[in-house]
Structure formats: C-alpha cells, structure tokens
C-alpha cells in the first residue's frame, strides 16, 4: 500500500517533468550543436588579442565574445585565467566572467522554446548590459600590476569541474574536419556531462513546481513591486545552476504567477554567482573587483527585472511560457525522440558511467 501511495504521488511529478523535457530537448540538442561549431572556430588566443588593455572597448568586446561561447559553467573559470594571463584587463575579464555563464547559444535556444521569443531576446541583452556595467566599474577600480593570477588558479578553477580540466583548452585544432570533430566532441561530451545533470535537476524542479505549487500562490505577490525580485535574487545568488538548467525553473514559476521581471532576476543571478566563481575572482582580480562583480549582478539584475515588468505593462506585450504538454500537433514524435536521445547522452556522459565503462574496457 505504501509503495502504491508513493507511486501515485510521484507519477504526476515525473510526467510533468517529462513533458517539460520533451519541450526543451530538441532545442537543447540544437544549442549544443551550435556550441560545438563555435568551440571549433573560436580560440582563446583570438579572444586574448582583442581583450588586452583596459579600454572600454575591450569590455564591450569581452561581453559580446562571451555571450554565445560554449563554455560550461566551470569551463569559463580557467578560460578567464587564460585570458588574464594573456593580458586581458580586469574589466574585460569581469565582463567575460558574467556574460559567458549568464547566456549562451544553448540557453537562448531553450529560452525560445520554453519562455517565448521576447524572453529569448531580453535575456541575452540583459546579460550583456550587466557584464558591460560590471566591466566598466572594474576598469575604473583596476590598478595595473596587481592581482595577477598564480599558476595554481587553473587547478582551483577546475577543481569541481566534471571535464577534468579539458574545458580549459579552447584552442582550435588545425584542419577543418579535426576542428569540427573536436568541437562536437566537446559539446556533446564534456559540456553535456557538465550541464546535463543540472538540466535534469532543473526539469525535475519545474515538475515539482507545476505539480505541488498551487496555481495562484504567486499571483498574490505584488506584480510590480520589488519583493518578488528580491526573493529571486536571494534564491539565485547562492544557487549553483547553469543558464540552461535555470530556464525550465523560470518557466514553471512564471506559469504559477511570478512576474517575468522577477524570473529574469533569477536567470541572471543564478548562473553567474557560485562559490567557485567568487573564489576565483577574489584571487584573480582582488577584493574590490569581486565586490563590484557581486554589486553589479545584484543591482543590474534587479533594475533590469523591474524594467522588464514596467516595459511589459506599458507596451501591453506578454511573456507566454509554453505550458508542458503543448507540443505542436504532428511533432510529438520529434520531442519524444529528442528527449530519449538527450537523456541517453546525459546518462552516458556522466562521470560514474564513464568510470564504469572504463573498468569494463580494461577487463
């Protein structure tokens, strides 16, 4: 009886999570494909050539270069160390550290699928504004010659990374075929292994929100007030969640009545702040820039979130997340097939599975 009761309790939750996963899976695979192509043709050396010095232009370049890059949430840290070693200024490094995890080709694709085109545009634009503001402030506080990274920083930045440090090497290999192969291997290997489990967790949490949270619980919050935005900031700052994984959570919260602006605060603050990134910034750029980093994310995310709500109220436009289970008629098979392929790839790419496969290969 107890087992039957648990099954009845968890089955709706799992079905709701699976419907979200089916909606997102084709776009996730498309995003990883684009990420692999970018990985193949964008090198760390090319970035460093454009980001040297402390001019405002380097901050704008760093934010623009970082936004679409296929670096995982931990891979951005050793990449930032590499850029700093090659002469990138504090402002450019800070902008890169913010724009890269807050948005990317994969998260933009999933945002389009789950949150709609308006949020798919507003999200990367907000990430760029946050990164540029933080970078310009970091440049203003920078003192040349201080806070140069030690060799141990690469080890520090990859200590909790599932890719065993391989994501620090973003250099393209000679030959078109070789670069394409290595880029796609990275996207559907190391990058998927790092992001995949967090994506599954985000999908599961969205199922929990849809199933267990009353439909009107968030509508009682003041839609135009700052309270929901502050709550999302407090929830997002300590939470270790990547940009892709945060998207289904935000979609579920909006469907329950959370304002799109408050959801945007969560989408900006969650991916850009965690213990690993803050530790690296402290050692790489110093206390003052680390304080600017946190302050810029907090102030900009709140301001942009409130601004989005005001714009929606003024314009009459609406953010309409895709409710789970509303795949276009005739394309259900595509979502199901993509979900199965993506789930198999995530399971295959996890470290325990890799370790088990390695042991079997040796026996």
Mean pLDDT computed over 154-180: 53
The pLDDT, as a whole number, for residue 204 is 82
Mean pLDDT of the chain: 74
**Residue 88 CB contacts under 8 Å (≥ 6 apart), including other chains:** 47, 48, 51, 52, 58, 62, 96
Q: Report whether pLDDT(154) > 50.
A: no
Segment of 151-160, 255-264, 331-340 carrying the highest mean pLDDT: 255-264
Q: φ and ψ at 52, to 5 degrees?
A: -70, 150
**Residue 325 CB contacts under 8 Å (≥ 6 apart), including other chains:** 19
The pLDDT, as a whole number, for residue 121 is 93
- Of 83, 80, 91, give the one whose Cα is nearest residue 140: 91
Asked if 223 contacts 258 with a C-beta cutoff of 8 angstroms, the reply is no
Taking the C-alpha atoms of residue 258 and residue 51, their distance in angstroms, rounded to an integer, is 38
Terminal Cα distance for the chain, rounded: 43
Q: Report whether pLDDT(294) > 60.
A: yes
Whether this prediction's pTM lies above 0.75 is answered by: no
Domain residues of the chain, as ranges? 13-357
The pLDDT, as a whole number, for residue 221 is 55
Looking at the chain, the whole-number percentage of residues with pLDDT higher than 90 is: 14
Q: Report whether pLDDT(28) > 90.
A: no
The pLDDT, as a whole number, for residue 158 is 43
């Amino acid at each position: 009886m107890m087992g039957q009761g648990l099954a009845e309790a968890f089955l709706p939750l799992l079905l709701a999570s699976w419907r979200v996963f089916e909606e997102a899976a084709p776009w996730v695979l498309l995003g990883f494909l684009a990420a692999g192509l970018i990985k193949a043709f964008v090198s760390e050396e090319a970035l460093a050539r454009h980001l040297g010095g402390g001019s405002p232009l380097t901050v704008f370049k760093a934010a623009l270069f970082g936004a679409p890059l296929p670096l995982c949430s931990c891979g951005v840290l050793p990449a930032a160390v590499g850029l700093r070693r090659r002469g990138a200024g504090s402002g450019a490094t800070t902008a890169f550290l913010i724009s890269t995890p807050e948005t990317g080709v994969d998260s933009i694709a999933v945002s389009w699928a789950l949150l709609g085109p308006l949020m798919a545009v507003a999200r990367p634009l907000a990430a760029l504004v946050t990164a540029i503001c933080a970078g310009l402030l970091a440049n203003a506080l920078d003192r040349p010659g201080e806070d140069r990274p030690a060799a141990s920083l690469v080890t520090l930045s990859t200590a909790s990374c599932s890719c065993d440090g391989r994501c620090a090497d973003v250099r393209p290999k000679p030959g078109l075929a070789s670069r394409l192969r290595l880029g796609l291997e990275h996207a559907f290997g190391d990058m998927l292994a790092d992001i995949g489990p967090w994506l599954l967790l985000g999908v599961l949490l969205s199922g929990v929100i849809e199933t267990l949270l009353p439909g009107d619980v968030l509508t009682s919050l003041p839609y135009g007030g700052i309270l929901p935005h502050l709550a999302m900031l407090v929830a997002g700052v300590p939470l270790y969640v990547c940009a892709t994984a945060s998207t289904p959570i935000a979609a579920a919260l909006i469907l329950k009545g959370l304002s799109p602006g408050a959801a945007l605060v969560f989408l900006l603050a969650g991916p850009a702040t965690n213990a690993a990134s803050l530790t690296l910034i402290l050692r790489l750029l110093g206390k003052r820039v680390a304080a600017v980093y946190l302050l810029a994310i907090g102030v900009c995310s709140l301001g942009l979130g409130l601004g989005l709500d005001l714009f929606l109220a003024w314009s009459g436009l609406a953010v309409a997340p895709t409710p789970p289970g509303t795949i276009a008629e005739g394309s259900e098979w595509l979502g199901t097939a993509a979900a199965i392929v993506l789930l198999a790839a995530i399971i295959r790419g996890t470290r325990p599975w890799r370790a088990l496969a390695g042991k079997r290969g040796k026996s």
